[in-house]
Structure 1
Amino acid sequence: MSARVLVVDDQEPNVRLLEAKLKAEYFEVVTAFNGLDAISKTNDHQPDVILLDIMMPGMDGFEVCRKLKADRRTRHIPIVMVTALDQPEDRVRGLEAGADDFLTKPVDNLPLFARIRSLLRLKVLLDELRVREDKVEARGLSPVEANETDISGSRQLIITGEERIAEHLAERLPDEAVAEKEIDPAKAVSRAADGFDLIIVDLTTKVFDALRVCARIRSNSETRHVPILAIVDPDEMARSVRALDLGVNDIVNRPVDRGELNARIRTQLRRKRYADMLRERLDDSLEMAVTDPLTGLSNRRYLSSRLEQAVQRVAHGEETACVMIADLDYFKRVNDSYGHDAGDAVLQQFAECLRHRARAVDLVARFGGEEFVVLMPSVTLNEAAIGAERLRATVNKLSFRLPGTDSVLAVTVSIGLAEIHAGDTVDSALRRADEALYRAKAAGRNCVKLEKVQTKAA
């Protein structure tokens, strides 16, 4: 996986060494020699990963990290601090500044490239979500913001082979977290799908193959996006690298420092919440794109796409289909006499009636104003007419409630029906249904009319 990496260090030999290693693996490399230059290069080049030295004159790496993570344009870029500092308090300080991980100088190639690959996989996912988020913001919606500190109520599953070690790890978790423990590997994989925010796996256990547990959790669609934090033995570098390649999000060396563990947990939870909020916004925006906001039915745009599919299926002889257009009679009088709130209430109640009367395979949409369209697949015109007449009769018996009062209205509906034929377009099918609706209105309303069948001359 190739990518653009920004290397930041005030010592040119360090920069050139990392640059050579990265280019040998076909990464594109951008370099910077101080904090201000690093921020400028990040904005200009939008790197995929930043390798950031801590000890620099002027603006040190901690401050650079804080500034980049505070900027919406750059906060999503993973930052790995490359430093000679190797004390837990230094790592905690960096994690609290927003760093994603640490590498200790001199940098070994195995953990370097394992870390970069791991962070790139995460960034690719976030970039896809952010592209859609940008489109949502362009429609005037507010940007997604992740809570930076609050992890209260988060559920974390500890997986290890011994109850004693599980208790030991649970005691080191943040006080606000809800910790659950599992020492059976089969049950652990099953329980991982139970809505946990973070999974902590002890890779040092000799009771079972903890790497296989990580792989099974990551391959399950229900747990694919749940962050995994692994406890590792610092002397088993190859195992740590393997864990990262399998999809583990972060690692903590034994003996476990509580401050570092908590800082890494907060980092993972913050990142997960940001990704979850992006996904939720994407789901909401997709729903908004195809849904009528007043009635909750499908909108005209979505109807058009589904009608086009139905036309194509009919053209290929795969099925029959009909189109129903239903129009509330004298609806303008409702708005004029009782106000638009009353009109909206009538539309909503009629939409609910349509939704309940339609089959599961039917598509019900608001076409505009008081006009509704139902796409009815796998029916003939006569079969569709039976359903349309039942709908008309149901509406005729309904009492439509007016908001804020005990008053009710009697409302009727006129319906036009057309069958989709081979050679039809969406417009031609809708036009014939609309012509049938016009004849229903002309016949006195509150009735169902079918398209006129064209007979061939002998």
Structure 2
Amino acid sequence: MQGTILILDGVATNRIILKVQLSAAYYRIVQGTDLVGLRDLVRRTRPDLIVTAMKLPDGTAEDVKKILSEDPPQAAIPILAIGNQRDRMARLKALAAGIDDVLEQPLNDLVFQARIRSLLRLRDGAEDLPAMTGEVLGFAEAPTAYSGPSRVALVTAQAETGTVWRSQLASKTRHSLRTFRLGDIQGLMTQPVPDAIVIEIPRRDPAPALSLMSELFARSSTANCVVIALAEGAEPHSLADALDRGAQDVMAGGFDAEELALRLELDLARKARRDRLRSTVRAGLRAAVLDPMTGLYNRRYALPYLTSALRDTIGTRGDLALMMADLDHFKQINDHYGHAAGDAVLIETAQRLRLMFEPDDMIARVGGEEFLIAIPGVKANDASRIARRICAEINGRPFRIAGAERPVDVTISVGVVTISAGRIGAAGTDEQLATRLIDQADQALYQSKAAGRNRFKTIEAAA
């Protein structure tokens, strides 16, 4: 099954027709007749989409939206309303209430199915996963109101059409409006890219507009833009094609400033929620693998990285150096100057180390004053030279500490283990090999400490 759809309609014949249409597309169908017990029905059946008649025996589609909005988990369920032909005021009222879209009878099955696919795609790809991830990992962000204003591009076949649209829409919306000609992909991509793009689909030649939608959907800079297609008199297959190419909305009746303003507000609010969720998840995932004090990677990131680096080393018959570095007598800094001073030393150490290495190298803080460094493609001689530079970088310049009368000398000890693909044994998994290498780098560090500190010790991996 592709998902669960709840059909709400007081007329049995309508429900039967809709069930036949949607069951043929392999959706699981749940049916209801009115608003009584709607919350329990939704909670029990967990629909991915609700298709409702504009008028129910005891209410309207707007009442369905109001009931669901009172329960946050249910508020995100898309609602598609079906109304009478050419009832513009009812359509505008429904959109103003937050209904995701209104289709008019008689339904065209091609457009109907495409609209359902687009709404489910928006829900599945942009809301469920980030929300679930945030909840499970504990960094979900409380929803905030959408504020705007946003950047809106009006793309038309003729420049004069764009000018008319902008003039009529300007008094209906608070968003910033710019006009473009179809085919002006370069201008459309100029930073900052629009938040929403309204595209005219000419009836006689829809291909350029549809190609533009595919182009926008394929580019990372515009893949998350709101796209609204205006297609007055267009064939049903063009409307369905626009939805399948990434349009969030299709206005089959053509340009209507009031309706377009409502759709922009609804779609941009939805986009703001998606962007906020993506940002929250991205920040949470970064926090999960970064040390909050130094900004370096943490141990949680280090082992998977090393496992992957070893796999690449084996696959390319290359080399890899692994270093375990530890600040000498760090406890004395904490005891003498305080933990704030110790933190300052760790932060500056991380900064000095970061400047020494390339972005592809990995530096992680894996203990209080311990750092793990993995450098792909480095042989034993080069690894020794790098370890010597680390020692010189730390002890070559004293550390300035707030409250200390003079700069404080700090030294570091380094244990280095190098490995070549041709000398890696077959025993154990990549993760087990990575763990053994970390242990061997730790042993080399112990040897450099035992030899007097402020030095490095290099060994070849016994893997």
TM-score normalised by length of structure 1: 0.90
Q: Which residue of 2 aligns with 1:451?
A: 459
Please give the secondary structure, in 2, of the residue aligned with 1:368. coil
Post-superposition offset of 1:11? 2.0
Map 1:228-267 to 2 at 5 A.
228-234=227-233, 236-254=235-253, 256-267=255-266
Q: Which residue of 2 aligns with 1:51?
A: 51
CA contact 1:396–1:412 (8 Å) conserved in 2? yes
CA contact 1:133–1:281 (8 Å) conserved in 2? no
Q: 2:159 aligns with which of 157, 163, 167?
A: 163
Q: Which residue of 2 aligns with 1:371?
A: 370
Q: For the structure 1 residues 61 and 317, does the alpha-carbon distance in structure 2 shift closer, same or farther, using more than 3 Å as the test?
A: closer
Q: Which residue of 2 aligns with 1:327?
A: 326
CA contact 1:8–1:38 (8 Å) conserved in 2? no
CA contact 1:159–1:182 (8 Å) conserved in 2? yes
Q: Distance in 1 between matches of 2:358 and 2:437?
A: 20
Q: Which residue of 2 aligns with 1:292?
A: 291
Q: Which residue of 2 aligns with 1:188?
A: 185
Post-superposition offset of 1:135? 3.1
CA contact 1:435–1:451 (8 Å) conserved in 2? no
Q: Distance in 1 between matches of 2:211 and 2:434?
A: 53
Measured against aligned partners, the alpha-carbon deviations of 1:145-194 in whole angstroms (never above 9, x if no partner) come to: 2534x231x111111122221122112144421111112x3323652464
Is it true that 1:422 corresponds to 2:424 in the alignment? yes
Please give the secondary structure, in 2, of the residue aligned with 1:113. helix
Map 1:21-40 to 2 at 5 A.
21-40=21-40
1:48 alignment partner AA: D
Q: For the structure 1 residues 53 and 453, does the alpha-carbon distance in structure 2 shift closer, same or farther, using more than 3 Å as the test?
A: closer
2:260 alignment partner AA: L
Please give the secondary structure, in 1, of the residue aligned with 2:185. helix
Map 1:117-266 to 2 at 5 A.
117-126=117-126, 130-145=128-143, 147-148=145-146, 150-152=147-149, 154-171=150-167, 172-173=169-170, 174-183=172-181, 185-188=182-185, 191-192=188-189, 194=191, 195-204=193-202, 209-234=208-233, 236-254=235-253, 256-266=255-265
Q: Distance in 1 between matches of 2:112 and 2:365?
A: 56
Q: Which residue of 1 aligns with 2:97?
A: 97
Post-superposition offset of 1:413? 0.7
Q: Distance in 2 between matches of 1:285 and 1:93?
A: 39
Q: For the structure 1 residues 22 and 428, does the alpha-carbon distance in structure 2 shift closer, same or farther, using more than 3 Å as the test?
A: closer
The alignment yields a C-alpha RMSD, in angstroms, of 2.6
Please give the secondary structure, in 1, of the residue aligned with 2:99. coil
Post-superposition offset of 1:266? 0.7
Please give the secondary structure, in 1, of the residue aligned with 2:417. strand
Return 84-93 or 440-449, whichever deviates more: 84-93
Measured against aligned partners, the alpha-carbon deviations of 1:287-308 in whole angstroms (never above 9, x if no partner) come to: 1222111111111121111222
Q: For the structure 1 residues 114 and 418, does the alpha-carbon distance in structure 2 shift closer, same or farther, using more than 3 Å as the test?
A: closer
Q: Distance in 1 between matches of 2:126 and 2:62?
A: 24
CA contact 2:437–2:461 (8 Å) conserved in 1? no
CA contact 1:151–1:266 (8 Å) conserved in 2? no
CA contact 2:139–2:280 (8 Å) conserved in 1? no
* Identity within the alignment, %: 31
Unmatched segments (≥5 aa) in structure 1:
none
1:422 alignment partner AA: I
Q: For the structure 1 residues 413 and 254, does the alpha-carbon distance in structure 2 shift closer, same or farther, using more than 3 Å as the test?
A: same
Return 95-104 or 312-321, whichever deviates more: 312-321
Q: Which residue of 2 aligns with 1:10?
A: 10
CA contact 1:65–1:97 (8 Å) conserved in 2? yes
Q: For the structure 1 residues 125 and 316, does the alpha-carbon distance in structure 2 shift closer, same or farther, using more than 3 Å as the test?
A: closer
Measured against aligned partners, the alpha-carbon deviations of 1:361-408 in whole angstroms (never above 9, x if no partner) come to: 321111111000111222222221111111101211222232477853
2:104 alignment partner AA: T
Q: Distance in 2 between matches of 1:74 and 1:83?
A: 23
2:123 alignment partner AA: K
Q: For the structure 1 residues 14 and 89, does the alpha-carbon distance in structure 2 shift closer, same or farther, using more than 3 Å as the test?
A: same
Q: Distance in 1 between matches of 2:26 and 2:375?
A: 55
Measured against aligned partners, the alpha-carbon deviations of 1:247-267 in whole angstroms (never above 9, x if no partner) come to: 221122445332211110011
Q: For the structure 1 residues 376 and 110, does the alpha-carbon distance in structure 2 shift closer, same or farther, using more than 3 Å as the test?
A: closer
Q: Distance in 2 between matches of 1:282 and 1:140?
A: 10
Return 59-68 or 82-91, whichever deviates more: 82-91
Q: Which residue of 2 aligns with 1:439?
A: 447
Measured against aligned partners, the alpha-carbon deviations of 1:340-369 in whole angstroms (never above 9, x if no partner) come to: 221111101001111111244321111111
Q: Which residue of 1 aligns with 2:110?
A: 110
